[in-house]
Amino acid sequence: MRLRPDVHLARLGRDVVLLDAGLGEYLCLPDAAELFFQPATGPVEVLDDAVAREAAALGLAGAGRSVAAPLPPSPRADLIDHPASSIRGADWMAGAGAWTTMLVRYHGRSFGRLIAHAAQTRRHVEAPAPARLADEVAIFRHLLPWAPCQGVCLYRSFFLLTFLRRRGLDATWVFGVQTWPFEAHCWLQAGETVLDDRLDHVLPFTPILAV
């Protein structure tokens, strides 16, 4: 049996974590690595009949559409200590515009709708000069405390992604998981560089979805 295309899998040793991207729900299955097959393209396949029945009962099987992008390479650097240059009026305007988008597209929206919006507004741009990308991220970091609301990784990453796209740039939104204890996290990445977090913080997480 095949899972829905928007159900994603990560292997962590002998354990498996599933992410229902439509609902934003994670399912951790210890010692289940041999019960699933992840083809290079296409939905995850369940190899065990009992697990297949449980997955079907949970609504994880069936048709659907995936908005996933290819998983990025393992990160090797971050921009967290890059200093911000002088902030200009155009920077404040871009920040205000990104916040307006947050009001419409983030607040009160489900996980699935956030992912779908990020995929629909994906930009196909040439890789920017590293210095420019680092400057834009530093500007956003300077503006973020002035935003009317604050939030954790999902909020910060969506906000920065919105800001970068208004500036003609783009990044990959990466979701990762770890187990024992289970924890999920997300961050933005461009190539091998983490944009909105420290490298040592994201490295323990195994990517499960990229948008």
Query: 59-73: per-residue pLDDT in tens?
Result: 999 887 888 999 999
Question: Are 53 and 81 in a shared domain?
Answer: no
Residue 126 — very low, low, confident or very high, per pLDDT cuts 50/70/90? low
Is residue 72 domain-resident?
Answer: no
pLDDT for the residue numbered 41: 83
pLDDT for the residue numbered 81: 85
- Which tokens hold the place of 35? 């019960």
Is residue 62 domain-resident?
Answer: no
Instruction: Supply the pTM of this predicted model.
Output: 0.93
Domain hosting 140: range is 77-210
Residue 165 has pLDDT above 80, yes or no: yes
pLDDT for the residue numbered 64: 79
Question: Are 130 and 93 in a shared domain?
Answer: yes
Question: Are 100 and 189 in a shared domain?
Answer: yes
Question: Are 49 and 102 in a shared domain?
Answer: no
Residue 40 — very low, low, confident or very high, per pLDDT cuts 50/70/90? confident
Question: Are 32 and 88 in a shared domain?
Answer: no
Check: CB of residue 35 under 8 Å from CB of residue 178.
no
Residue 156 — very low, low, confident or very high, per pLDDT cuts 50/70/90? very high
> Is 150 or 166 the better-scoring residue by pLDDT?
166
Question: Are 102 and 49 in a shared domain?
Answer: no
Is residue 187 domain-resident?
Answer: yes
Is residue 1 domain-resident?
Answer: no
Question: Are 90 and 121 in a shared domain?
Answer: yes
Q: Which long-range contacts (CB under 8 A, 24 or more apart) does 135-140 make?
A: 135/82, 135/84, 135/85, 136/163, 136/164, 136/167, 136/169, 137/79, 137/82, 137/164, 137/195, 137/196, 138/79, 138/82, 138/83, 138/84, 138/85, 139/84, 139/85, 139/87, 139/91, 140/95, 140/164
Mean pLDDT of 178-183: 95
Question: Are 113 and 32 in a shared domain?
Answer: no
Is residue 175 domain-resident?
Answer: yes
- Domains held by the chain: number: 2
Is residue 70 domain-resident?
Answer: no
- Which tokens hold the place of 184? 């999920």
Residue 56 has pLDDT above 80, yes or no: yes
Task: Identify the CA nearest to 121 among candidates 75, 158, 82.
Answer: 158
Mean pLDDT of 122-131: 75
